[in-house]
């Protein structure tokens, strides 16, 4: 069980809630804060005070006073009118993360909602009823208004959900689980949709996938080093320490561990003096991406515990401030940075693949073909990797540098953070396929060299890989191999090296390097 309190949610907690489906519950202390905040909202309505979002309209309509009798209709109209997202739905795991993050934000006690609103969000998490939320339509500044409105619809018994592997009307799933829809009252609709939870949820899923891939790039790069009889001197600790980046030091350390005992690697001057950058500079390039991942994780963990709606209620209602915590700029920049960092891992991976298949750059069979000329081998796999890498370059264009005014120019600067998070996620899917291609080629190369000469850890990786992708004895439909290899990378629990221990990759979200 994970107790939510609005302040202590971390990436490892999110991993457990999203993928291991642990039960979630609100802390008693946080619920007391919620009740006090709610009492303040009810007092404002009773006294007919003019407070944005409680007794006024929204956005450009903020100067229009709303009568007490119209408060419930106002909130319902808000959700209906703002639920205008388009496109394919977010992955179900993202929808699940959105529910958790929205509940956690409300538990800070600054939003003025009734406890029942949070209870319903957590009910959806615990019964695995996940709202269908279209991916497109958020500017990422007044909060993720359109996506979160689709989420809020489900609390009202409207909209659609994913439930038990099917897409259905929300009211059907709620009825099956015995969950009563709610009617929103003052401030609650706005509190549900004024936030960054769509971009943050997409960011969390992207980070968790990216971290796993980042570890995998090092294992597969180690296979490639063996396949190309790479020089290990470049991974010596002294040269890493001389630069000073801890991420670079850690990458080199793990590479040395993976290659320990290998009879396929060489020393400088033995076959050649130095390797190409795509081998020699793995610690520097991969280390820089790890530095980015650490930054992104820090930003996401702050945002996961942030109050991001408007207005916010402090001191039990003594101070109510309309501000801009819903603006997604911190996450927008982090997501753009994540996309760029992951695209670079694909760039260098594709260059290693080229070195594995190009007969002018190695002494292996041309394109790793079992019968060069008659059979093409891995020739076109490199084309595919090059195509994906080029696609990533367009996706990596920063979304955060764009802005467009909305709400009659009241909301005149927006973050586009949700677009950035979606692009980062797509880049990560492409990176996995580029890495899958390198893995296929590297496994072929080391077996040509002689797998009995491999390091013990890379040999384990080879054995796992061969459960998915057989040795290339003749040309076949390699599209299937790439997809199988990508499934292997996504689903298998990879052994990785960290803190002088070998452990399962899925635990790396506990701390990382």
How many CB atoms sit inside 10 A of residue 483's CB? 13
**Per-residue pLDDT at 494:** 60
Separation CA 224–CA 235 (nearest Å):
14
The Cβ-side half-sphere exposure at 80, using a 13 Å CA radius, reads 11
Could you tell me which residues are beta bridge partners of residue 166?
163
Catalytic residue (one of 12, 19, 23, 52): 52
Cis peptide, bond prior to residue 73, ω within 30 of zero: no
Separation CA 350–CA 276 (nearest Å):
13
CB crowding 424-456: b at 16 or more within 10 Å, else e:
bbebbbbbbbbbbbbbbbbbbbbbebebeebbe
CATH fold of 2-195: Fumarase C; Chain B, domain 1 (1.10.275)
Phi, psi of 493 (to 5 degrees): -85, 100
Q: What is the pTM of this model?
A: 0.93
Among candidate residues 343, 433, 432, 435, the one with its CA nearest the CA of residue 396: 343
Whether 52 is catalytic is: yes
Q: Which helix (H) or strand (E) holds 107?
A: none
**Per-residue pLDDT at 60:** 65
| 204-308+338-400+429-510 shares the fold of 2-195 | no
**Per-residue pLDDT at 513:** 40
Q: Are 227 and 442 in contact (CB under 8 A)?
A: yes
Among candidate residues 433, 425, 447, the one with its CA nearest the CA of residue 485: 433
Q: Roughly what angle, to the nearest 10 degrees, separates helices 246-258 and 197-227? A: 50
Name the DSSP letter for residue 310. Answer: S
Separation CA 237–CA 358 (nearest Å):
31
Architecture of the 204-308+338-400+429-510 domain: Up-down Bundle (1.20)
How many CB atoms sit inside 10 A of residue 239's CB? 15
Q: What are the boundaries of each domain within the chain?
A: 2-195, 204-308+338-400+429-510
**Per-residue pLDDT at 42:** 86
The Cβ-side half-sphere exposure at 115, using a 13 Å CA radius, reads 14
Who contacts 63 (Cβ-Cβ below 8 Å, separation ≥6)? 56, 57
pLDDT, mean of each 10-residue run, the chain (513 residues): 96 96 97 94 82 73 72 87 95 98 97 96 98 93 91 97 98 98 92 94 97 96 98 97 97 96 96 96 98 97 94 88 90 97 98 96 93 90 97 95 77 86 98 98 97 95 95 95 96 56 40 40
């Amino acid at each position: 069980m994970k107790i939510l309190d609005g302040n202590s949610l971390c990436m490892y907690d999110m991993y457990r809630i999203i993928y291991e489906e642990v039960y979630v519950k609100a802390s008693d202390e946080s619920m007391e804060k919620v009740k006090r905040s709610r009492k303040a909202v009810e007092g404002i309505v009773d006294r007919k005070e003019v407070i944005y979002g409680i007794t006024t309209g929204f956005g450009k309509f903020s100067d229009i006073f709303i009568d007490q009798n119209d408060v419930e209709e106002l909130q319902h109209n808000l959700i209906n009118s703002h639920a205008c997202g388009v496109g394919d739905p977010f992955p179900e795991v993202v929808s699940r993360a959105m529910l958790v993050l929205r509940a956690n934000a409300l538990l800070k006690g600054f939003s003025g909602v009734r406890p029942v609103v949070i209870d319903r969000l957590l009910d959806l998490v615990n019964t695995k009823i996940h709202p269908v939320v279209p991916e497109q339509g958020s500017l990422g500044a007044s909060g993720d208004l359109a996506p979160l409105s689709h989420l809020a619809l489900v609390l009202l018994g409207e909209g659609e959900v994913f439930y038990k592997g099917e897409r259905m009307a929300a009211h059907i799933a709620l009825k099956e689980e015995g969950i009563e829809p709610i009617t929103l009252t003052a401030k609650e609709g706005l509190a549900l949709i004024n936030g960054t939870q769509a971009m943050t949820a997409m960011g969390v899923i992207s980070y968790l996938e990216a971290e796993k891939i980042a570890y995998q790039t090092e294992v597969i790069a180690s296979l490639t080093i063996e396949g190309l009889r790479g020089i290990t001197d470049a991974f010596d600790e002294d040269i890493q320490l001389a630069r000073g980046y801890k991420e670079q030091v850690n990458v080199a350390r793990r590479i040395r561990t993976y290659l320990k005992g290998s009879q396929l690697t060489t020393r400088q001057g033995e076959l050649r003096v130095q390797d190409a950058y795509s081998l020699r500079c793995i610690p520097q390039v991969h280390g820089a991406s790890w530095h980015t991942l650490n930054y992104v994780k820090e930003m996401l963990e702050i945002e996961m515990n942030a109050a991001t709606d408007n207005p916010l209620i402090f001191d039990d209602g003594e101070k109510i401030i309309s501000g801009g915590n819903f603006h997604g700029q911190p996450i927008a920049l982090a997501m753009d940075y994540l996309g760029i960092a992951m695209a670079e891992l694909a760039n260098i991976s594709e260059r290693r693949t080229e070195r594995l298949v190009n007969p002018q750059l190695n002494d292996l069979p041309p394109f790793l073909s079992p019968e060069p000329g008659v059979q093409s081998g891995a020739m076109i796999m490199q084309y595919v990797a090059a195509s994906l890498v080029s696609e990533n370059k367009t996706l990596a264009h920063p979304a955060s540098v764009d802005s467009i005014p909305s709400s009659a120019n009241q909301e005149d600067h927006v973050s586009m953070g949700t677009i950035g998070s979606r692009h980062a996620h797509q880049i990560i899917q492409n990176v996995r396929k580029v890495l899958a291609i390198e893995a296929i080629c590297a496994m072929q190369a080391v077996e040509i060299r002689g797998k009995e000469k491999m390091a013990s850890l890379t040999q384990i990786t080879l054995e796992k890989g061969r459960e998915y992708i057989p040795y290339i004895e003749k040309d076949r439909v390699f599209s299937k191999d790439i997809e199988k290899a990508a499934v292997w990378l996504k689903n298998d629990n990879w052994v990785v090296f960290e803190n002088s221990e070998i452990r399962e990759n899925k635990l790396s979200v506990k701390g990382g390097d």
